[in-house]
């Protein structure tokens, strides 16, 4: 008999609060595992979907179960899966918008191509902060039609190039800094002054105050004599500055954007990044198979921003969404344990 599954779901567009009810127990398809969810992180997309519903994505089917960042224990292994067995502790990026993949439930299906094993001394809540952040950053940094950077390694050698990452203390920025440094790049980033030390601890060489009235000129000056590896925009509204800096620097004139780029100046290329695309190219295995397992076990990759555990149980998912929506969470990621 299948275990009893419960989920926190949206029964219809813009429903509030989330409904906690029984949900079909997922079966493991080809290349999939079933995970008993121990922790799920909350991302802005989760509260935007609740707030905006079909105005944001008109193809969402209801009931909808959110949650893209999942950590837990493997309870079932599907056909053609050799890299995991029942009992393994894992963290993964949930795939797509089907209910069976959502993290806000007791049991979820995961495609193994975006799952990584975690060491025994790494807590589920700590691990759960990584998947969407690292996937978004990796797509921007390594995909051939984006920044196409050198691949990360456990013992990187400096390559003499400097990357600009806007919003280094964000979840995506946190992962982007660590990946870029593991790939041998010098990283210049921006944050509020209270997060300068945090960004430096991640490996950033220099951190600039993004509220400074002279930020554009400061960055242009800083890149003089440097070979620019390109830019990565994470926060809406910063594109204009990054475009200007990259355009006036020597090197790669490409800017990867976690937002939709508009008014891209002549001489600069910019494209919006989507985390899920690494499922279909070499970047997925590069991160989840080749780099992350060893980096986590050898303590060469930090699971940050730190989890802020909102509570234990599905009823706390709505609390976490509300907290995220209200803002004020800095250099932390909201997590619910199950």
Give the model confidence (pLDDT) of 44-55 as tens digits. Answer: 999 999 999 888
pLDDT of residue 333: 95
pLDDT of residue 2: 78
Structure-derived torsion over alpha carbons of residues 222, 225, 229, 233, reported in degrees to the nearest 10:
20
pLDDT of residue 96: 73
Structure-derived torsion over alpha carbons of residues 192, 259, 94, 49, reported in degrees to the nearest 10:
100
Q: What is the mean pLDDT of the chain?
A: 96
Give the model confidence (pLDDT) of 174-221 as tens digits. Answer: 999 999 999 999 999 999 999 999 999 999 999 999 999 999 999 999
Q: Higher-confidence residue: 58 or 201? A: 201
Looking at residue 120, the DSSP 8-state letter turns out to be T
- Check whether 328 has a pLDDT greater than 80: no
Rounded to an integer, the average pLDDT of 103-115 is 97
Catalogue all structural domains in the chain, each as residue range(s) with its CATH number.
6-130+303-337 (3.90.180.10), 134-274 (3.40.50.720)
Q: How far apart are CA 67 and CA 64, in angstroms?
A: 10
pLDDT of residue 102: 96
- Check whether 36 has a pLDDT greater than 90: yes
- Report the share of the chain in percent with pLDDT over 90: 93
User: What one-character-per-residue DSSP string does 245-284 give?
Assistant: HHHTSEE--EEEESS---SPPTT-EEEE--GGGGGGSTHH
pLDDT of residue 97: 85
Does residue 67 contact residue 103 with C-beta atoms inside 8 Å?
yes
Which of 20-24, 40-44, 58-62, 298-302 is predicted with the least confidence, judged by mean pLDDT?
Answer: 58-62
Rounded to an integer, the average pLDDT of 79-98 is 94
Burial string for 59-86 (b: 16+ CB within 10 Å, else e) reads eeeebbbbbbbbbbebebbbeebebbee
* pTM of full prediction above 0.75: yes
Rounded to an integer, the average pLDDT of 63-84 is 97
Q: How far apart are CA 83 and CA 32, in angstroms?
A: 11
pLDDT band at 330 (very low <50, low <70, confident <90, very high): confident
Give the model confidence (pLDDT) of 243-263 as tens digits. Answer: 999 999 999 999 999 999 999
Give the model confidence (pLDDT) of 233-243 as tens digits. Answer: 999 899 999 99
Give the model confidence (pLDDT) of 265-275 as tens digits. Answer: 999 999 999 99
- Check whether 95 has a pLDDT greater than 80: no
């Amino acid at each position: 008999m299948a275990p009893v599954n419960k989920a926190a779901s949206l029964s219809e567009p813009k429903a509030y609060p989330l409904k906690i009810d029984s949900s079909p127990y997922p079966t493991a398809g080809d290349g999939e595992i079933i995970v008993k969810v121990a922790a799920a992180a909350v991302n802005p997309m989760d509260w935007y979907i609740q707030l905006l519903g079909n105005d944001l994505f008109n193809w969402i089917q209801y009931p909808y179960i959110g949650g893209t960042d999942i950590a837990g224990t493997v309870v079932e292994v599907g056909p053609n899966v050799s890299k995991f067995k029942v009992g393994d502790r894992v963290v993964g990026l949930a795939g797509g918008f089907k209910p069976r993949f959502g993290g806000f439930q007791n049991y979820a299906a995961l495609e193994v191509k975006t799952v990584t094993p975690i060491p025994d001394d790494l807590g589920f809540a700590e691990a759960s902060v990584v998947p969407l952040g690292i996937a978004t950053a990796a797509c921007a940094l390594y995909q051939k039609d984006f920044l196409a950077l050198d691949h990360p390694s456990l013992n990187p050698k400096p390559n003499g190039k400097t990357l600009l990452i806007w919003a280094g203390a964000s979840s995506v920025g946190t992962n982007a800094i660590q990946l870029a440094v593991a790939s041998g790049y010098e990283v210049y980033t921006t944050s509020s002054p209270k997060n300068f030390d945090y960004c430096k601890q991640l490996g950033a060489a220099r951190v600039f105050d993004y509220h400074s009235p002279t930020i554009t000129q400061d960055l242009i000056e800083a890149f003089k004599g440097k070979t620019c590896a390109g830019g990565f925009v994470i926060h809406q509204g910063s594109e204009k500055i990054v475009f200007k800096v990259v355009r006036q620097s020597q090197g790669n004139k490409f800017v990867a954007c976690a937002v939709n780029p508009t008014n891209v100046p002549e001489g600069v290329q910019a494209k919006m990044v989507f985390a899920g695309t690494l499922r279909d190219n070499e970047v997925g295995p590069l991160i989840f198979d080749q780099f992350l397992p060893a980096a986590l076990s050898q303590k060469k990759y930090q699971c940050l921003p730190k989890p802020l555990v909102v509570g234990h149980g599905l009823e706390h998912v709505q609390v976490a969404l509300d907290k995220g929506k209200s803002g004020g969470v800095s250099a932390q990621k909201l997590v619910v344990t199950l």
